[in-house]
Amino acid sequence: MRLRKIQHIRPCEISIAPLIDVVFLLIIFFMVVSQFTRVKLEAVSLPPASQGELPEEMSSRRVILNVHQDGRIINEGIEHDLLSLEQLLKMEKAEHGGGRLTILIRSDRKTSWKTVREIMQVCAGEGLSRVKVAVTEAEGQN
Amino acid sequence: MLLTRQSLKPVRPVLNIAAMIDVVFLLLIFFMCTISFEAVDKDLSAQIPQVSGDPSEESDFEPIRIELRLTEAEAEGIGSEVLVFCDGLKCSGYGEMAEMLSQRRAIADIPVIISGEDEIDYENLVRVMDICYEIGFSRVAFSAK
């Protein structure tokens, strides 16, 4: 059998336009998401612990409370005092239900216990017992 | 002034794709890396005894109460030290407290309640909680009272 001669060999080309589209889309996605997490997570020096667990999947609503060394309580970029915190937790509880609400306290290691205790009192007052404290990986601490 | 013929010829603009792709990929890799570094926080579960009822009530055992107190600062410049009390007994440090807790853990998974004086740094309480979890207690709570 005689094979037919291939008339034209088309040159192989990478189409640049869709590649750039996808890459830009990814860049914008990562930029937005990183900005979003930064708003929620303030720069605080967390206490070290060896038994910390990785956060669970986001199946339940998590309220992140950043507590600075000077006692400022910040949730999603907004500063709260104990009264407004109570209001916030009330609202969150009404919206998502108390059982599905997790409070994550990201407190600075040098914050006085009084500040954190008062936050926990507010949580307990609202009937929220799913409270977690954020820690960093301990580096060979005994 | 007379322009040369060559300069009158329109030059076709060319977009340098290679350099742009370099920069774009660099940005992409940067954001991908930083995003994974931001999520390294870990959690410790800190139950709070409810106002209405104490979770330790469900247990057959009386909860172990660990209390942190501060010594009186003797002089200016000398910081006060943290004293550890386990069920009212003074421990020489976290090591002795861990030993006492290990003995109790051998009996059962007794609930532990941690409390402290107001001025104590929060990291001390987290450290006690971490030790409790390390020993194997599963019901460790901060006292919010």
Of A37, A115, A133, the CB nearest to B46: A133
Average per-residue pLDDT in chain A?
A: 81
**pLDDT of the residue at A51:** 81
Classify B47 as helix, strand or coil.
strand
Q: Of A44, A46, A85, A113, which to mutate for an interface test with B (greatest number of B Cβ within 10 Å)?
A: A113
- Residue B48 is classified by DSSP as -
User: Does A100 touch chain B if contact means CB atoms closer than 8 Å?
Assistant: no
**Bridge pairing between strands B112-116 and B82-86:** unpaired
User: Does B76 touch chain A if contact means CB atoms closer than 8 Å?
Assistant: no
- Residue B56 is classified by DSSP as G
Residues 2..31 of B with a Cβ closer than 8 Å to A: which? 17, 20-21, 24-25, 27-28, 31
User: Does A23 touch chain B if contact means CB atoms closer than 8 Å?
Assistant: yes
Span B61-143: which CATH code? 3.30.420.270
pLDDT tens-digit readout, A11-25: 777 788 888 888 888
Give the distance from residue B85's alpha carbon to the nearest chain A alpha carbon, in angstroms: 16
Classify B33 as helix, strand or coil.
helix
Helix axes B94-107, B122-135, angle to 10 degrees: 40
| Closest by CA position to A79, among listed A92, A37, A70 | A70
Long-range contacts, stretch B77-85, CB < 8 angstroms, 24+ apart: B82/B120, B82/B124, B84/B128
Nearest CA in chain A to B137: A51
Give me the residues of chain A with pLDDT under 70, please.
Answer: 1-8, 38, 57-59, 98, 139-142
- Residue B61 is classified by DSSP as S
Task: Domain ranges for chain B, please list them.
Answer: 61-143
Give me the residues of chain B with pLDDT under 50, please.
Answer: 51-53, 55-56
Residues 123..142 of B with a Cβ closer than 8 Å to A: which? 123-127, 129-130, 133-134, 142
Residues of chain B contacting residue A112, judged by C-beta atoms under 8 Å apart: 118-122
For each of the domains in chain A, give its residue range(s) and CATH number, in order of start. Answer: 58-137 (3.30.420.270)
Of A16, A50, A123, the CB nearest to B134: A50
**Bridge pairing between strands B64-70 and B82-86:** antiparallel
pLDDT tens-digit readout, B16-57: 888 888 888 888 888 888 776 655 677 777 766 654 445 445
Tokens of A19: 């590649």
Tokens of B49: 């005894």
Is the confidence metric ipTM above 0.85 for this complex?
no
Of A30, A47, A109, the CB nearest to B32: A30
Distance from C-alpha of A41 to C-alpha of A142, rounded to nearest angstrom: 28
Residue with tokens 């500040």: A115
Q: Do A33 and B35 touch (CB under 8 A)?
A: yes
Residues 109..128 of A with a Cβ closer than 8 Å to B: which? 109-117, 120-121, 123-125, 127
End-to-end distance of chain A based on CA atoms, in angstroms?
Answer: 81
Max Cα–Cα distance, chain A, nearest Å: 92
- Residue A98 is classified by DSSP as G
